[in-house]
Structure 1
């Protein structure tokens, strides 16, 4: 049995909703260590020269005990830094935790492992001494596409750095690392850690402060329907909610989102009035890239959520509107939308039909399968 690491000389209590990347950034900043050095001292990096996988976003697995010991947390506190507590209610987490054998891409598209959204005001902290020094939380649920609003500050989440224009904590390959540029110490937890091209040897990272509202572009107002939807989604992720109810609803959102994107703009009238431009831009960009390069065309997946929180909010609101229809109205909506969609066998549908079969309610599965059989 491997020896457990010694407790670190100083610890930090996890902030409400904080994720593993956020705590390790704040703790390494407090101890004046690079994240990589902290990973080694807390059991997250198991051998010299290895890397700390983004898979730890999902669950700590056999590293839980060592990490909890080193950081002076209870195992329950340590586990709550990951997405594991939501796995029963949110099928993409469980499917990423238990991928099919020999699957080339093990991470479900409805879990962000290659970047994260964020709220600048959350990163700024609450004004306490400890958060003035080390920043506020990088929340773990920002990794879920269905979280698009910061309910504490009533604003859409951001996904990009205003300086380098890349997504926050960005990687080219999903799940490849827990944090970008982890060997580099000295960065504040709220600074952008993205590598930029054309930089000097002494500056290999962007370094922009993501907790500054001054540099952030303006965002649209949150509509009442989007606020209600985000509240409902948060309630469904609550441990008091029946897992089957939550799982079925999230699956319904995913299936309807894929249909909306694949047939856009046929379903525009189901989305919030005046906000659909963001979804227009997202779908147009996907189609344009697919037309420009063969590899982009081969990777096009209509069941993938937008990176933009605003576009995702519009998409999910349309999906929720479809799910709320009476059965005859839903069937009619599918009848008008599906003829413009790709064939059912197209790879562009991704895992849509798999999720429909495994996690949807019987009623939704029957209605969608009947419509697909008739029109695809």
Structure 2
């Protein structure tokens, strides 16, 4: 069978397993083939469906990525962005969410830790997704799978009120008591490559460097200056080490929340654990909107209701603000090189990092609000 014929068969299988029309299933798979977050091997939806039905005694009416379905697609997302976060619609009972992780070393043990963390959050009445079963973790073809309860309401539109609520929840999270087990594991790094770069926020810089190294031999001569500049940025970046620590989330921004404003729940705990608390706040401030004083002020007000930053945290805020954008800039650079193009200094996240006034302006606005 030709490569295109094999792809068409995969589309038909996905459409049958998920209930999507052929064109919708094709669009989802096309995006998945080009996504920088694509796994090394696809999830076989029919087999996963059978696995979950057998393990939990269910009858599943459909199973599909959360962003394949217009009814469940997160606001502002696009097809293929959450390919391994699946909505499991059951014949008897409300839907579940199933998250399928990569099959890299010790991922199943880490997913078991995710379940332990969700139980810890429930015990402290923190609004987060909840396990859908007493034994929410299973192994499917070597990959860890966790099932959680589906939260109605979708992702809220970003607004000052929502940002204030999110920041308040982050402050509450950072005030939770220290605990052992998975709660004490290193955390705070971006979770999408968790099996390889799990741990403290500084792992984002390790990942960023790996993105660059992976394409170093393919960089065109005209792209070498940008490559060297990015590598230097990564080597000199503030990794937030030595700052006050707490149990923290790995990717805390508006897309980490689902539900109705005023009663939001935080999801996506694969990158969570103990680490410097400032990076999570910095990322929320960054995504609150460049130059949006109202949004930045809402974040600062919500967080300071629970946590007072130290002088050193305030001093290092501009550098820590740049850490996640630098991770994204290196990811953008890698994808550009892989596609045969030469990244430019004024494009995307590379352009963001190239203009340090972004972080400086956000930090100045945030510090002004945090100190009121």
Fold agreement, TM-score > 0.5: no
Structure with greater strand share of residues: 2
TM-score, length of structure 2 as denominator length:
0.33
Using structure 1 for the length normalisation, give the TM-score. Answer: 0.33
